Amino acid sequence: MNNSFFRIIAIFSGFLCVLLVCSWIGDYRSRETSPVQNTFTSKQADPVGNKNTDDTTEYTAKIKPAVIVKGTIKSGETFAHALERNELDRSLESQVIKGLSQVVDFRKCRPGDSFRISLNDCGGLIRCTYERGPLEIYALEPNEDSASEFHAFRDSVLLECRLTKLSGIIDSSLFSAFSKIGANSRLTMAFTDIFASRLDFNTETRLGDQFDVIVEEYFKDDRFVGYGKIVAARYKNHYKGFDAYYYRPEGQTKGKYYDSAGQEVGTSFLRSPLPVYRVTSKFSKRRLHPILKVYRPHLGVDLAAPIGTRIMAAADGRVSFVGWQKGFGRIVILKHPGGYKTYYGHLSRFAKGIKKGIRVEQKQIIGYVGSSGLSTGPHLDYRIKENGVFKNPFNMKFKPKSRLSGKALDDYIKEQGEWGQLLENNSAPKTLQIETRKIRKQPDGWLG
């Protein structure tokens, strides 16, 4: 009896030892193949000067998620509703909303906004991202020191920037020519905006005019997401060529466009306060009024455009009058340095915030085209007065707003020469350069 008892004890002890050894081996193997990794990557240079939450390194705990919840905000839906629709746990839902609310205003949710939530096998949050377009991504992650605490931040986005040269010839209009080379209206408007003080593309374009533009094109996962800044631009008409090069002097936050001599392309006044229009009445000392049927001076130009077309301030200045003025209907009058005044008549409405006494900047929207007052159709009556005398806006010459000098001019001339050669080189490839950029906000000069 005693021998049998000790024999059973010995067998049972041996069995336990085998189990312990197997358990140890399994634990070792699981540690060797564990999906939990801690990855440290050196912080890369940020071309737009944005700082990460950590100035030295980026820490990312990469844990293979057990559950991934993905969704998109639908029309009329809040972020909370979207999380409920995806059957997210209430406590986790509260945790996500509270955490991301530090960096995202969920009152401004838009249909199409998307989110992705990664959970571990215990239902704990590994990472949550909220995306409001290709350049705006916010993240929520556990703190390094405490898994129960989280930090929210605007995440970086990896984009491919392709420096592209586009060229075309005017066969009907500038917009049509840009469209034929695959460019959208935003790029066209940006191109015209550069030369707005020197060229009027509504009246001064001719068939056969040529243009070249070097622009940044941004791609995400091989999908075009928008244009960055125009680096260099050129327009050649029947009698002259116009060049413009983007340059940001050291210490300045924004760049400007300068010509080959280092003079700012923009002048103190725009050629026209409307981007697109048709001249229906010219500056005249004697014109038959279309409604009153009497001859009287027309001391401005009538620019026909659809109702609601945005009207820009022709120059920096201050609002001296805004309201209704007899035949002009709704009108804005701006006073500018140097004895100038500009008049914008027959508006349908005024831009928000436009009132007497406020300062406005050149190209700021001050109102919208209409047909108020004595008017036969939607148009802008634009006038300019110099030292008390009305002048023909299209005949006036204005000085550049600024000029480069000293070291800034030397640096610019060197840089401009390289871009000028690329503009001249008709055999240059369409894609001049490809670069991967890590950004946390819209790139400099973003056009969209």
Number of domains in the chain: 3
Q: Quick one: 257 and 406 in the same domain?
A: yes
Last residue in a domain, options 111, 138, 155: 155
Q: Which residues contact 70 (CB under 8 A, 6 or more apart)?
A: 86, 114, 115, 116, 117
- Model confidence at 78, pLDDT cuts 50, 70, 90, reads confident
Q: Quick one: 287 and 391 in the same domain?
A: yes
Last residue in a domain, options 155, 187, 221: 155
Work out the number of other CB atoms within 10 angstroms of the CB of residue 407: 10
Q: How confident is the model at residue 148, as a pLDDT? A: 64
The pLDDT of residue 35 is above 80:
no
The pLDDT of residue 51 is above 50:
no
Any domain includes 27: no
Q: How many CA atoms lie within 13 A of 289 on its CB side?
A: 13
Any domain includes 425: yes
Q: Quick one: 320 and 354 in the same domain?
A: yes
Q: How confident is the model at residue 1, as a pLDDT? A: 46
The pLDDT of residue 56 is above 80:
no
Last residue in a domain, options 101, 129, 155: 155
Any domain includes 31: no
Q: Quick one: 42 and 137 in the same domain?
A: yes
Instruction: Write out the residue range of the structural domain in which residue 78 sits.
Output: 37-155
Under a CB-based contact definition with an 8 Å cutoff, are residues 330 and 272 in contact?
A: no
Q: What pTM was computed for the model?
A: 0.69
331 DSSP β-pair partners? 323
The C-alpha torsion from 425 through 430 and 432 to 435, rounded to 10°, is 170
Share of the chain above pLDDT 70, in %: 81
Q: Quick one: 139 and 285 in the same domain?
A: no
Any domain includes 446: no
Q: How many CA atoms lie within 13 A of 273 on its CB side?
A: 36
243 DSSP β-pair partners? 234
Under a CB-based contact definition with an 8 Å cutoff, are residues 387 and 338 in contact?
A: no
The pLDDT of residue 368 is above 90:
yes
Structure tokens that stand for 183 in this block: 């460019």
Query: Rounded to whole angstroms, how far apart are CA atoms 410 and 329?
Result: 51
Q: How confident is the model at residue 128, as a pLDDT? A: 87
Q: Quick one: 381 and 404 in the same domain?
A: no
User: What is the chain's alpha carbon radius of gyration, rounded to the nearest angstrom?
Assistant: 32
The pLDDT of residue 7 is above 60:
no
Specify the higher pLDDT residue, 332 or 96.
332
Q: Quick one: 421 and 355 in the same domain?
A: no
Which of 16-25, 35-44, 191-200, 406-415 shows the lowest per-residue confidence on average (mean pLDDT)? Answer: 35-44
The pLDDT of residue 201 is above 60:
yes
Q: Quick one: 192 and 253 in the same domain?
A: yes
Mean pLDDT of the 326-335 span: 92
Average pLDDT, rounded, for the chain: 80
Q: Quick one: 353 and 421 in the same domain?
A: no
Tens of pLDDT, residues 264-322:
888 888 888 988 788 888 776 666 666 666 666 778 889 989 999 999 999 999 999 99
Tens of pLDDT, residues 8-33:
444 444 444 434 433 433 443 333 32
Q: How confident is the model at residue 235, as a pLDDT? A: 93
Q: Which residues contact 213 (CB under 8 A, 6 or more apart)?
A: 165, 166, 167, 187, 191, 230, 232, 233, 234
Any domain includes 14: no
The pLDDT of residue 43 is above 60:
no
